[in-house]
Structure 1
Amino acid sequence: MGKQGLLGGLKLPQELQISDHDDPDSIYVIRRIIKRKPFLVNTYKSFYRDILSRIKTVPADGDLIELGSGASFLKTELPQLITSDVLPYDGVDKVFSALDIPLADNSVSAFLMTDVLHHIKDSRQFFREMQRCLKVGGKVVMIEPANTLWGKFIFSNFHPEPFDDQGGWGFEEGGPLTGANIAIPWIIFFRDVEIFKKEFPELRLRSIRLHTPFKYLLSGGLSFRQLLPSWCYPIVDLIEWILSPFNRYLAMFMTIELEKRH
Structure 2
Amino acid sequence: MKVSLEQHNVEIHENRRHWERKPLLRRVYSQFGREIAKRVDRTMPGLVVELGSGMGHIKEHLPDCISTDVFPNEWLDRVENAYNLTFDAGAVSHLILFDVWHHLEYPGTALGEFHRVLSERGKVIIFDPAMGFLGRFVFGNFHHEPLGLGEEIHWEAPAGLMSSDFGYYAAQGNASRVFGSSAFRERLRSWRVAEVAYLSGLAYLGSGGFRGPQLYPVAALPLLNRVDSFLSRFPSLASRMLVVLEKRGEPSQLG
TM-score range, shorter chain: 0.7 to 0.9
Q: CA deviation at 1:165?
A: 1.5
Q: CA deviation at 1:72?
A: 2.8
Query: Does residue 206 of structure 2 align to residue 218 of structure 1?
Result: yes
Q: Which residue of 1 aligns with 2:49?
A: 65
Whole-Å separation in 2 of the counterparts to 1:155 and 1:28: 21
Whole-Å separation in 1 of the counterparts to 2:9 and 2:179: 31
CA contact (8 A) 2:134 2:200 kept: no
Q: Which residue of 2 aligns with 1:24?
A: 9
Q: CA deviation at 1:176?
A: 7.5
Q: CA deviation at 1:74?
A: 0.8
Equivalent residue in structure 2 for 1:102, among 77, 86, 89 = 86
Report SS of the residue matched to 2:122.
Answer: strand
Q: Which residue of 1 aligns with 2:161?
A: none
Equivalent residue in structure 2 for 1:84, among 30, 45, 68 = 68
Whole-Å separation in 1 of the counterparts to 2:8 and 2:114: 27
- The one-letter amino acid of 1:51's match is I
Query: Does residue 36 of structure 2 align to residue 51 of structure 1?
Result: yes
Whole-Å separation in 1 of the counterparts to 2:43 and 2:129: 25
Equivalent residues in 2 for 1:1-262 (5 A)?
22=7, 24=9, 26-56=11-41, 59=44, 61-170=45-154, 178-191=168-181, 193-195=182-184, 197-246=185-234, 248-261=235-248
Bigger shift: 72-81 or 144-153? 72-81
Whole-Å separation in 1 of the counterparts to 2:168 and 2:38: 30
Aligned residues between the structures: 237
Provide closer, same or farther for how the CA distance between residues 26 and 198 of structure 1 changes in structure 2, counting only shifts above 3 A: closer
Q: TM-score, normalised by structure 2?
A: 0.85
Whole-Å separation in 1 of the counterparts to 2:63 and 2:148: 37
Whole-Å separation in 2 of the counterparts to 1:168 and 1:26: 25
Q: CA deviation at 1:169?
A: 2.5
CA contact (8 A) 2:55 2:75 kept: no
CA contact (8 A) 1:131 1:260 kept: yes
Provide closer, same or farther for how the CA distance between residues 74 and 194 of structure 1 changes in structure 2, counting only shifts above 3 A: same
Provide closer, same or farther for how the CA distance between residues 236 and 23 of structure 1 changes in structure 2, counting only shifts above 3 A: closer
Q: TM-score, normalised by structure 1?
A: 0.83
Report SS of the residue matched to 1:24.
Answer: helix
Q: CA deviation at 1:194?
A: 4.8
- The one-letter amino acid of 2:198's match is L
CA contact (8 A) 1:120 1:170 kept: no
